């Protein structure tokens, strides 16, 4: 006799939550049609092998599924990496991991004297409508991003930041990376977000800022070249049209709080 208990309910809820999360992840990465195709194939496979009990066709589909798992890992390696990162970056998981990594980096790598030059530079560049993209490293290392640009390794200085993003500067199109209270590199290449939820008026700098905030726990500060507006991307979300005071408050809270 078939028994349906609380464990079965929890099982169904967990599967539903997993499918919903995968749906959102695939939608953001423009792989939704592939995801739907996989779901249809799995349903057909289960129907053929479990309901109709067609042994020959079922065995063929079993082989396809076993090989298909490896193929899916290759096809969706970026999405899988993003899923595992978001799982590990969860606040509770990070607290648990901190128990075993006492020597790891933390928010105190930055201080007020390092934040203010960034804020003042963004305010001045906003007034002059000078485009800028500043990425501030936190716990997740950005060494792979730093390697794509030109190494600077200098103290955080307002004039230096403004000179890097000056319109005639050869480094003004890339991103500047700040790590351990130093400007590590400029002209860096960032992963671009393919999210369909980004407002159309936002350009490539904003997409790159959102991309690095989705792939890591870094904070990305953007100054728009068109409008002079200041924005911040944190954990895959934008905070737009910020004043200098709001920018200072956000950076202070996220880096020192």
Strands ordered across the beta sheet of 132-136? 150-155, 182-188, 175-179, 132-136, 219-223, 230-234, 237-242
Q: Please tell me whether residues 24 and 126 are part of one structural domain.
A: no
Q: Please tell me whether residues 195 and 224 are part of one structural domain.
A: yes
Q: Please tell me whether residues 213 and 127 are part of one structural domain.
A: yes
With b for 16 or more beta-carbon neighbours within 10 A and e for fewer, the 36-49 pattern comes to: eebeeeeeebeebb
Q: Please tell me whether residues 132 and 232 are part of one structural domain.
A: yes
Q: Please tell me whether residues 31 and 138 are part of one structural domain.
A: no
Q: Please tell me whether residues 48 and 126 are part of one structural domain.
A: no
Total structural domains in the chain? 2
Q: Which domain holds residue 51?
A: 6-88
CATH code where residue 219 lies: 3.40.1700.10
Q: How far apart are CA 27 and CA 142, in angstroms?
A: 26
Contact 179, 153 (CB under 8 A): no
Q: Please tell me whether residues 27 and 140 are part of one structural domain.
A: no
Q: Would residue 210 count as lying in a domain? A: yes
Determine whether 3 is exposed, middle or buried from the number of CB atoms within 10 Å of its CB (0-12, 13-18, 19+): exposed
Q: Would residue 96 count as lying in a domain? A: no
Q: Would residue 98 count as lying in a domain? A: no
Q: How does pLDDT run across 231-249, given as a tens digit for each residue?
A: 999 988 899 999 999 999 9
Residue-by-residue pLDDT tens, the chain, 257 positions: 456 678 878 888 888 887 777 776 666 555 667 767 777 877 887 777 777 777 777 777 777 777 777 776 776 666 666 666 666 655 444 554 544 444 444 445 667 889 999 999 999 999 999 999 999 998 888 998 999 999 999 999 999 999 999 988 888 889 999 998 999 999 999 988 877 778 788 889 999 999 999 888 899 999 999 999 999 999 888 999 999 999 999 999 998 86
Which residue, chain included where needed, has tokens 């509770």?
A: 92
Reference 237, options 188, 189, 199, 191; nearest CA is: 199
pTM over 0.75: no
């Amino acid at each position: 006799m078939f028994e349906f208990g609380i464990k079965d309910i929890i099982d169904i809820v967990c599967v539903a939550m997993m499918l919903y999360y995968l749906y959102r992840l695939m939608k953001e990465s423009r792989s939704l049609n592939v995801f739907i195709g996989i779901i249809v194939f799995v349903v057909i496979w289960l129907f053929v092998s479990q309901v109709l009990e067609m042994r020959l066709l079922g065995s063929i589909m079993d082989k396809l599924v076993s090989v298909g798992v490896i193929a899916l890992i290759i096809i969706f390696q970026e999405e899988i990496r993003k899923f595992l990162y978001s799982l590990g970056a969860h606040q509770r998981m990070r607290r648990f991991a901190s128990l075993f990594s006492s020597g790891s980096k933390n928010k105190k790598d930055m201080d007020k004297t390092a934040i203010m030059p960034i804020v003042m530079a963004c305010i001045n560049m906003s007034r002059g409508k000078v485009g800028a993209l500043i990425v501030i490293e936190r716990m997740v290392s950005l060494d792979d991003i730093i390697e794509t640009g030109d190494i600077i390794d200098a103290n955080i200085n307002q004039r230096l930041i403004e000179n890097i993003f000056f319109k005639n500067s050869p480094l003004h199109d890339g991103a500047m990376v700040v790590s351990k209270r130093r400007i590590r590199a400029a002209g860096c290449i960032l992963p671009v977000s393919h999210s369909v939820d980004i407002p159309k008026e936002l350009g490539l700098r904003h997409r790159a800022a959102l991309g690095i905030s989705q792939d890591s726990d870094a904070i990305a500060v953007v100054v728009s070249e068109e409008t002079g507006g200041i924005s911040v991307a944190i954990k895959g979300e934008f905070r737009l049209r910020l004043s200098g005071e709001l920018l200072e408050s956000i950076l202070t809270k996220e880096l020192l709080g």
